[in-house]
Structure formats: C-alpha cells, structure tokens
C-alpha cells in the first residue's frame, strides 16, 4: 500500500461512503487525468464515463487553457469580494446570459447546493416583502435532488438521503415524480399531462396564494435519469404562469451542454424565472456556481424606492465569483463553443442511446433506457413484467465489473433505496464514437458476467 493510500485510510472521511468497506479494501485514489481518461495511484487507466464521478468534467481532463486562465487570474487578482466587481466575473456573466435568452442576471456562489439556497432565499424574500408572507411555499418533486444543505434536503424528493437529517425547513411541499416507466397511475394516455396536472392539484390543495415557486430538475439526474414525458414541460410552464409561480430550474447536472443544448430546459422550449447551475460551469477546474434570474426577479430587489416594502438581497458568499472561478468558467465556455461540443454531445448521445437500446434487446435485465445527449441511464429489473428492481448488489457488481475492465460508470445507490437500480452514464462532451463503443462494450461484458453469476 502506498503512503498516500495509508494516509487516506487513516485521515480522510469519504463522501457518501460506508467506511467499513475499507476494512478489507483500499480506497480508490486518483492521481491524473487527460481527455476522457483518469489514472489511479496504482497506475491503472480508466475510460471515464461519469465525468469525474458526479457529472462534472464536461470538457474533459487536462485542459491547459483553463489551468492557464486560472493561474493568470490568481497572479493578477486572486480575490476581492463580490460586493465589488472583477473582470472575469463580468465577462463570464455577459457570455453566459447570451446563451440564455430571457435571462438577465448572474449571482455567483461555489456549489450547486449554494446556488439553490440563493434561489430559495430570493423566493422567500419576495414572499415576505411583496406578498406579506404569503406565496412562501416552494414545491419540489419526488425523486429530484437539489443539494446537501438542510434547505436543499427539504427540497429533495429522495427519502433515503433525507431521513437522518430532519426536522426540515417548513413550507417545502412535494409533488409526484414524472417517471412514466414507474407510472403511479397505471397505463394512462398522456402520462406527461397527467403528471404535470398533479402539480396543479397540489397547488390547488395548498392554495395558490401560498405557493411561491416550483423547483425542478429538467431531467432528474441522481434520482434515476428521468427524461420528462411528452407534453410535461409545456403544461408545467402553463401552470406556473396561471398561478403566478416562479419556475426555478435546477441545471446543476444538465447545464453547460450535457444534453446537447446549453441548458436542459432549452430542449423543451420553456422560459424559466430562475436557473441554477454548478458542475459543468467550470468542469471541475474551479468551484463555481450561478443563480441566474430574469430582469423581473432582479428588479424586485432593486426598485426599493418604488416599493418601500422591498429590500436588496441581503446575501453574501465570501468566495462566490472571486475570481479564478469565473476565469475558469469563461475558458470552459469558450472551449465548448469553439470545439462544437454541443453538437458532439447531441451526435454521440444519440449514438449512445441507440447502443443502449441494442443492449436492452440482448439483456432482459434492462427494463428501461432513458437519456438525452451525453446523459443516459438504464434501469435493471428482475423481471420485465413485474419491473421489480434488482438488488443494489447487482448494479454494484456491474459497476465493479466495468471498473475491472477500465471503464468508470455511475449508478444510483443506497441513497435512493426504492430505485437504486439505475446505471448512469455521463461521459465528457468530447467523447468520440470509439469511446462510446468502448463504454458500451464494457457494459455488455459486465451484464453478461453478472447475470451469469447471479443465476
């Protein structure tokens, strides 16, 4: 065992990890990345189909252009609070807004959770100051995830992630998920409309004058890669307009090209009021997140003199927007644009999905295949008729087999007990046809072996 592994075993508390596994195994320690590939401390090479384990490294590893931009910025001005401006923060904000017609202002922070917290605080301040405390309820969806803080967990529809950490923040209300494969209402025509109408039902039950915002992932990520059913988003937008509800879209996973457009919501022709983003904003070269709002939302915090009850946004983040984060984000965005990575994500994503449908024909353990762009998942079931999810150990074994073959994949895990059976794929947007072939070949072998082993 190398010294670093010893140090890790002795001193590091890993995220989302039952540490007893290290009584008999060594932790995986990563040391290097280049393009689509990473190497661990033992020199083993992996093709990374998970973009760093958590859907993050959109432009791939080893980008000197981003590293140089960060280095130059640190040497020019490493820090000054966002109460003042700085050059990369304004340059990136302007470029980002260009990609988001209808959106207007960028509020910086450091992680997806924080970006969502800022959005919730905006909604709560609007509720208090503009509506005298009404319209403070925030709706969120079963199976969606919005982050790790107590408020974000209050808005998270995954019981296993939440249940140790209550009590939660009041006035967060859950609406049903929209996974047609797991339809709550049996086989229904127009499932998408039905699932969206359920949101309206909850709004009416709660009283529309008390509901301020609806916070949704464009495609549910960690909750099982749930692509929205036909008609869903258009109906959701109508409902928000009808009841004057702020539509907050959490693009922490889908943002910056993952689905083949700049943002996931742009796949559905809708117009949000607030958009949050993090992971792909700087592809992991810096910790940065953004809460982007319309001018109408921004103005509510600005026109204080016209509305004595309103106030500016009393929020701050020491590191948000300062200064290497936006420098990395700007270089990252330039790469996505210059290398046409949206087109590549769209093209290779379609190819990936077609291969996964091929795997589904071959392996009856695959119940459902879902995805858009370089963002895909498939559900493993014991039986296609009953759709009973496989035990978590089966998806774990498939991930382990892929890893043995030098391919890193993701999966929904213990944190989501009911549907912990989804294999998740999110290769970097630079993936080639050969990379996709290699990923799917590893999956094919893993499925064959694991199914044989469990018989």
Residues that bind ligand PMP (CB under 6 A): 54, 111-113, 116, 145-148, 217, 221-222, 250, 252-253, 278
Which position's Cβ is nearest ligand PMP?
A: 112
Cβ proximity to ligand PMP, 112 vs 272, nearer residue: 112
Nearer to ligand PMP, 144 or 200 (CB): 144
CB nearer to ligand PMP: give 47 or 288: 288
- The nearer residue to ligand PMP, 215 or 355, going by C-beta atoms, is 215
CB of 23 to ligand PMP, least distance (A): 27
CB nearer ligand PMP, residue 86 or residue 426 = 426
Kindly tell me which of 278 and 428 has the beta carbon lying closer to ligand PMP. 278
| Token representation of residue 13 | 């508390």
Q: How far is the CB of 354 from ligand PMP (least distance, A)?
A: 26
Closest distance between ligand PMP and the C-beta of residue 287, in Å? 8
For ligand PMP, the closer CB: 116 or 422: 116
Report the nearest approach of ligand PMP to the CB of residue 285 (Å). 14
- Minimum distance from CB of 55 to ligand PMP (Å)? 7
**Residue-level length of the chain:** 455
Nearer to ligand PMP, 111 or 283 (CB): 111
Minimum CB distance to ligand PMP, residue 280 (Å): 11
Q: Which tokens belong to 29?
A: 């320690």
- Sequence-distant (6+) residues with CB within 8 A of 302 are 312
Q: With respect to ligand PMP, which residue has the nearer C-beta, 301 or 419? A: 419
For ligand PMP, give the closer residue by CB, 222 or 228. 222
Three-class HEC string of the chain: CCHHHHHHHHHCCCCCCCHHHHHCCCCCCEEEEEECEEEECCCCEEEECCHHHHHCCCCCECCHHHHHHHHHHHHHCCCCCCCCCCHHHHHHHHHHHHCCCCCCEEEEECCHHHHHHHHHHHHHHHHHHHCCCCCCEEEEEECCCCCCCHHHHHCCECHHHHCCCCCCCCCEEEECCCCHHHCCCCCCCCHHHHHHHHHHHHHHHHCHHHEEEEEECCCECCCCCECCCCCHHHHHHHHHHHCCCEEEEECCCCCCCCCCCCCHHHHCCCCCCEEEECHHHCCCCCCCEEEEECHHHHHHCCCCCCCCCCCCCCCCCCCCCCCHHHHHHHHHHHHHHHCCHHHHHHHHHHHHHHHHHHHHHHCCCEEEEEECCCCEEEEEECCCCCCCECCHHHHHHHHHHHHHCCEECEECCCCCCCCCCEEEECCCCCCCHHHHHHHHHHHHHHHHHHHHHHC
* Minimal distance, residue 279 CB to ligand PMP, in Å: 7
Closest CA to 412 of 380, 382, 452, 388: 380
The minimum distance between CB 221 and ligand PMP, in angstroms, equals: 5
Query: Closest approach of Cβ 382 to ligand PMP, in Å?
Result: 27
* Shortest Å, Cβ 321 to ligand PMP: 16
């Amino acid at each position: 065992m190398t010294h670093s592994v010893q140090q890790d075993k002795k001193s590091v508390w890993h995220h989302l990890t039952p540490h007893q596994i290290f009584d008999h195994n060594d932790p995986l320690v990563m040391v290097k990345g280049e393009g689509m590939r990473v190497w661990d401390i033992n020199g083993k090479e992996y093709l990374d189909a998970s973009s760093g384990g958590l859907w993050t490294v959109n432009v791939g590893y080893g980008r000197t252009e981003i590293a140089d931009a960060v280095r130059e910025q640190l040497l020019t001005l490493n820090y000054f609070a966002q109460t003042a401006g700085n050059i990369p923060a304004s340059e990136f904000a302007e470029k980002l807004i260009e990609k988001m017609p209808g959106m207007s202002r960028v509020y910086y922070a450091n992680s997806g959770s924080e970006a969502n917290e800022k959005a919730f605080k905006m909604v709560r301040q609007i509720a208090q100051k503009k509506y005298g405390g009404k319209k403070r309820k925030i709706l969120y969806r079963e199976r969606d995830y919005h982050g790790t803080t107590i408020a974000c967990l209050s808005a998270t529809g995954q019981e296993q992630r939440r249940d140790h950490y209550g009590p939660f923040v009041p006035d967060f209300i859950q609406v049903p998920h929209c996974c047609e494969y797991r339809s709550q209402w049996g086989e229904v025509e127009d499932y998408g409309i039905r699932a969206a109408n359920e949101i309206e039902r909850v709004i009416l039950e709660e009283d529309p004058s008390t509901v301020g915002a609806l916070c949704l992932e464009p495609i549910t990520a960690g909750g099982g890669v749930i692509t929205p059913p036909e008609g869903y988003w258009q109906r959701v937008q109508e409902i928000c307009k009808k009841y004057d509800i702020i539509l907050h879209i959490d693009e922490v996973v889908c943002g910056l090209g993952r689905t083949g457009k700049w943002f996931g919501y742009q796949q559905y022709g809708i117009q949000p009021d607030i958009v949050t983003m993090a992971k792909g904003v700087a592809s992991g070269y810096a910790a940065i997140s953004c809460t982007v709002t319309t001018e109408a939302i921004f103005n509510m915090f600005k026109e204080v003199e016209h509305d004595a009850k309103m106030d500016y946004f009393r929020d701050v983040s020491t590191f948000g927007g300062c200064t290497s984060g936006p420098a990395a984000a700007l270089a990252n965005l330039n790469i996505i644009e210059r290398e046409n990575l949206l087109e590549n994500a769209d093209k290779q994503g379609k190819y990936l999905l077609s291969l996964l449908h091929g795997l589904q024909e071959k392996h009856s353990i695959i119940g459902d295949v879902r995805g858009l762009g370089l963002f895909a998942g498939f559900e493993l079931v014991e039986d296609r008729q009953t759709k009973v999810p496989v035990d978590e150990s089966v998806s774990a074994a498939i991930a382990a087999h892929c890893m043995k073959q030098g391919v890193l994949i993701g999966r929904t895990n213990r944190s989501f007990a009911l549907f912990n059976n989804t294999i998740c794929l999110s290769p970097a947007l630079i993936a080639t046809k050969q990379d996709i072939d290699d990923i799917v070949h590893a999956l094919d072998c893993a499925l064959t072996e694991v199914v044989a082993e469990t018989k």
